[in-house]
Structure 1
C-alpha cells in the first residue's frame, strides 16, 4: 500500500527535526570539549580551523590526516549546524595540534 504524499512530507519534517536536535547535541558536546582543550582561545581564520578539524577527522576515520583537505565541508556544506558539528567533533585533536604550533 502506498503512502500519501502528505504523510511522507510529515515523516520528512519529523526526521529533519530529529536531525537538527541530534546535530545540536553533538555540537554542544564537542563544543564543551573544545573549550576545555583551549580551542576557543586560538586566534585563527575559521577556514583554517575547519581544515585542521577535517584533517583530524580523517585521522580518526582511518584516512590519511597528513594530506591537504578542502576547507568546504564536502557532504556537510548544506548548513551551518553541520559545519559546527563537524568542527566541534574534531576540536580536541585540532586544539592539541594548534597548541603545538603556537
Structure 2
C-alpha cells in the first residue's frame, strides 16, 4: 500500500526532530567531557580542534577513519562538524548550570 505524500512528510519531520534532539544530546555529552579534560581553557582554532577530534575518532574506530559513501557515512561526517562546533557552546552553557 502506498503512503500519501503528506504522511511521508510528517514522518520526515518527526525523524528530523529526533535527529536534532540526538545531535544536541551528543554535543552536550562531548562538551561536558571536553570541559572536564580542560579543553575549555585552551585557545585553539576551531578547524584545528576539529582535526584533533577526527584523529581521536580514527583512533577509537581502529584506524578506519571516517567512512565514505552510504547514508550512515554521510550522516557521521556531516555530524562531526556541528558536534565539534556545538561542543564548546553546549558545554559552556552546561558549565554555568553545574
Structure 2 equivalent of residue 28 of structure 1: 28
Distance change (3 Å), C-alpha of 1:86 and 1:43? closer
Structure 2 equivalent of residue 10 of structure 1: 10
Structure 1 vs Structure 2 CA RMSD: 2.2
Instruction: Give the structure with the larger helix fraction.
Output: 2
What do residues 32-66 of structure 1 show as CA deviations (whole Å, max 9, x unaligned)?
1110100111111110110011011000011168x
Q: Work out whether residues 23 and 82 of structure 1, in 8 Å CA contact, stay in contact via their aligned partners in 2.
A: no
Q: Work out whether residues 53 and 86 of structure 1, in 8 Å CA contact, stay in contact via their aligned partners in 2.
A: yes
| Residues matched between the structures, number | 77
- TM-score norm. by structure 1 comes to 0.66
Uncovered stretches (5+) of structure 2, i.e. residues with no partner: 66-72, 88-98
Instruction: Tell me if 1:85 matches 2:86.
Output: no
Describe the SS at the equivalent of 1:35: helix
Uncovered stretches (5+) of structure 1, i.e. residues with no partner: 66-73, 89-102
Distance, in Å, in 2 between the alignment partners of 1:16 and 1:63 is 30
Distance, in Å, in 2 between the alignment partners of 1:13 and 1:6 is 11
RCO higher in 1 or 2 (8 Å CA, sep ≥ 6)?
2
Q: Work out whether residues 49 and 84 of structure 2, in 8 Å CA contact, stay in contact via their aligned partners in 1.
A: no
